[in-house]
Amino acid sequence: MLIAKVIGTIVSTIKHPAYAARKIMLVQALHLTGEKSEDAFVAVDLAQAGIGDVVLVCQEGGSTRQIMGLKDQPVRSSIVGVIDSVNLKA
């Protein structure tokens, strides 16, 4: 799992049936300093997140498919929670 920021929504008129009735979001991983990584990736939204939200992302296909109730579908990453705050102790 990793902490990421939602930076966009992906809209598609035709998509794989595994993504039917699901929001697909574009997210960027966050470093401990709060800076975004350079690479963005796609995640299925299971937590009703929106653009600008800091979220918890499950980036393992087997777990994501199990959460979504799928067996052999092409799904890798999912947003499983919206994060309100993070406290780090030095």
User: Distance between CA 12 and CA 1 in Å, rounded?
Assistant: 26
Question: pLDDT in tens for each of the 90 residues of the chain?
Answer: 899 999 999 998 888 777 778 889 999 999 877 677 788 999 989 899 999 999 999 887 666 666 766 677 777 788 999 999 988 776
Domain edges within the chain? 2-82
pLDDT of amino acid 51: 96
pLDDT of amino acid 79: 92
**What angle is formed at CA 20 by the lines to CA 9 and CA 28, rounded to 5 degrees?**
30
CATH architecture of 2-82: Beta Barrel (2.40)
CA 67 vs. chain centroid, Å, equals: 13
This prediction has a pTM of 0.82
User: Distance between CA 58 and CA 41 in Å, rounded?
Assistant: 12
